[in-house]
Amino acid sequence: MSENTKNRRRARLLPGLALCLLVMWAGIYGADLIGAALEVAGLLPEGGKSPVSGIFIAILLGIIVRNRVKLPELFVSGFGCRPI
């Protein structure tokens, strides 16, 4: 396999990987927001750690994005899913 072909394959993954990073960041930030909202509502002690994991929120967001949003073909390679 030529070096040019390898570089093209890697370049095809970048948009999907960028989308995955965005979903991960949104999950971590979303979990922090949920924790802060629970603290404001008085359901958590002040300074308590959020009971919601950023990984869990990122997984839920990834499921929602993949099942509810029609992803352009540009993102499919890096997002790791193909329609069955």
Please indicate, yes or no, if residue 84 is contained in any of the structural domains: no
pLDDT of residue 82: 52
| Residue range(s) defining the domain that contains residue 33 | 3-79
Q: Is residue 43 situated within a structural domain? A: yes
**Is 65 a domain residue?**
yes
- Give the pLDDT score at 1: 65
53 token code pair: 């994991």
Alpha-carbon separation of residue 81 from 29, 33, 49, 68 (angstroms)? 24, 29, 34, 14
Domain count, the chain: 1
The reply to whether 54 falls in a domain is yes
pLDDT (tens, 9 = 90+) of the chain, 84 residues, equals 677 787 887 788 888 888 889 999 999 999 999 998 998 998 888 877 788 899 999 999 988 888 888 878 777 766 555 554
pLDDT confidence of residue 81 = 54
DSSP 48: P
Residue type, position 14, single letter: L
Domain-located, residue 38:
yes
What confidence score (pLDDT) does residue 78 get? 64
Q: What is the pLDDT of residue 45?
A: 83
Sign of the dihedral defined by the CA atoms of residues 8, 68, 33, 52, in that order? negative
Q: How far apart (Å, rounded) are the C-alpha atoms in residues 64 and 43? A: 27
